[in-house]
Amino acid sequence: MAAASGFAESGADLDLVGIQKRFPGFTAIEHLDLTIPAGSFFALLGPSGCGKTTTLRLVAGLEDPTTGQVLIGGKDVTKLRPFERPVNTVFQSYALFPHMTVLENVAFGLRRRKIADPIDKAHEALRLVELDHLATRKPQQLSGGQQQRVALARALVNRPALLLLDEPLGALDLKLRRQMQIELKSIQESVGLTFLHVTHDQEEAMTMADTVAVMNKGRIEQMGAPEVLYELPRTAFVANFLGQSNLFTGPVAGTTADAISVDVAGVKVVVPKSRAARHTGTVTIGVRPEKLALHTEKPATDASTNALGPGRVIDVSFTGVSTQYLVDIPGVGNVTVFTQNMGFGPTAHEGAEVWVSWHVEHGFGLEDDPDAEPRFSPDADTQMLAVQTKNELQSELEAEEA
Ligand SMILES: Nc1ncnc2c1ncn2[C@@H]1O[C@H](COP(=O)(O)OP(=O)(O)OP(=O)(O)O)[C@@H](O)[C@H]1O
Ligand SMILES: [Mg+2]
């Protein structure tokens, strides 16, 4: 276990035990139990205000938990002050010293703590982020992405056993962001330290992290490997925050040894028991839009295929790699379908009569109690509004042109 002023050779475990954080009149964190194994890249993903920064501040020692403990490398640091913890934080605003060179910025903390060979160590950290050739520049002579890498070098140079990253890529444009995600990940792999990365960008979390925790209103809803979270979301929130989902609610109408069948507006939809959290009563089941096939004629179904329809295509959006269809199926609601653009032109046009089908193994069943929730996910409503607005704009434009 490294002291705050030492250089950690490897990452440390982080344990949050029974953490609650109340601000006057507001509970930011309801209850948090979390273990992040040493050397892992962990992403905390959630919408604005769900408590991500508060969690990082608790780990860094900038806030005290109302209840609970913070353990780093098995040691209780709850009562330690920020500088006594083997932790460094990279915030969204890089906060580099403008009057210092890049090298001086990186060496500054080492110098202040009287650590040997600050300049050599700063060069080493700059080589890690591939910026050593710009060591003599001032921050304002760098691009946003380069400044971000200096901020990272400045944190890495301390070899914290635990590195906290709070939306560090927020200010970068999309392309640079994607590039930095890959670089950050490879830096983490090469230094072997523990990274706790906070973001509200689901693609960023999935690209970078070994483990993603989805946070909602001060609680972790689900945690796991990105593929597992994506393929088997357990709650409606996760199903819609991490990508998009089509959700259907209905009573379980039949059960076999390994599957349940759910009555969705009079149609039996089959979900494997191993992929469904609830097997009786009223349940919510789902399937991802890219798992759906779109048909212009009623598809033949068998025991391994589910189908719904007919419905009407109410929107077609071309997004480059894929085309997104919104299909209104009477009694069921809106279903989103993504199809890869393998040929020219859409499979179906707006107004067309269509069916959707999917493999039974692609469905999932949520653990949410549907009776405690609205019949349709709020996302479908926002999507309807978006389509409406788009259609209104389009007819306005057409009216102007005419
Ligand atoms: N010092 C404080 N006093 C009162 N409420 C606070 C305080 N700090 C944070 N909060 C509240 O706690 C909640 C969680 O805030 P936090 O900064 O952790 O959110 P976040 O998940 O980081 O959001 P964002 O993605 O917008 O950065 C918010 O509702 C916020 O208003
Ligand atoms: Mg925040």
Cβ 218 under 6 angstroms from ligand 1:
no
CA of 89 to the centre of ligand 2 (A): 13
Nearest of 133, 63, 129, 42 to residue 94 by alpha carbon: 129
| Residues 105-155 pLDDT 10s | 999 989 988 999 999 999 999 998 889 999 999 999 998 888 888 998 998
Together in a domain, 77 and 183: yes
Together in a domain, 142 and 172: yes
Q: Is residue 397 part of a domain?
A: no
Q: Is residue 8 part of a domain?
A: no
| Residues 217-264 pLDDT 10s | 899 999 999 999 999 999 999 999 999 999 999 999 999 999 999 999
Number of domains forming the structure of the chain: 2
What CATH number should be reported for the domain holding residue 293? 2.40.50.100
Cβ 52 under 6 angstroms from ligand 1:
yes
Together in a domain, 182 and 218: yes
41-45 and 194-199 beta bridge pairing: parallel
Instruction: Kindly give the number of the ligand 1 atom that is closest to the alpha carbon of 63.
Output: 1
CA of 402 to the centre of ligand 2 (A): 48
Q: What residue numbers bound the domain in which 383 lies?
A: 232-391
- 196: phi then psi, degrees, rounded to nearest 5: -115, 110
Together in a domain, 252 and 172: no
Together in a domain, 200 and 241: no
Mean per-residue pLDDT of the chain: 88
Sheet holding 14-23, edge to edge: 26-36, 14-23, 67-72, 75-76
Q: Is residue 396 part of a domain?
A: no
What is the distance between the alpha carbons of residues 311 and 224, in angstroms, rounded to a whole number? 35
Q: Is residue 401 part of a domain?
A: no
User: Are 365 and 285 spatial neighbours (Cβ–Cβ below 8 Å)?
Assistant: yes
Cβ 48 under 6 angstroms from ligand 1:
yes
pLDDT of 331 above 70: yes
CA of 47 to the centre of ligand 2 (A): 9
Together in a domain, 116 and 256: no
| Residues 24-43 pLDDT 10s | 988 999 999 999 999 999 99
What CATH number should be reported for the domain holding residue 92? 3.40.50.300
What letter does residue 357 receive in the DSSP assignment?
E
Together in a domain, 54 and 197: yes
Together in a domain, 241 and 217: no
Instruction: Kindly give the number of the ligand 1 atom that is closest to the alpha carbon of 215.
Output: 21
Q: Is residue 263 part of a domain?
A: yes
* Confidence (pLDDT) at 45: 95
Together in a domain, 103 and 218: yes
User: Are 145 and 180 spatial neighbours (Cβ–Cβ below 8 Å)?
Assistant: yes
Together in a domain, 41 and 175: yes
**Token output for 64:** 């005290």
Longest dimension (CA), the chain: 75
Together in a domain, 193 and 309: no
Looking at 159, 193, 228, which one is the last position of a domain?
228
246-255 and 305-318 beta bridge pairing: unpaired
pLDDT of 209 above 70: yes
Looking at 172, 195, 228, which one is the last position of a domain?
228
Mean pLDDT confidence for 336-365:
91
Instruction: Kindly give the number of the ligand 1 atom that is closest to the alpha carbon of 55.
Output: 18
DSSP H helical ranges for 93-143: 102-112, 118-128
Looking at 204, 228, 252, which one is the last position of a domain?
228
Together in a domain, 94 and 165: yes
Q: Is residue 7 part of a domain?
A: no
User: Are 250 and 262 spatial neighbours (Cβ–Cβ below 8 Å)?
Assistant: yes
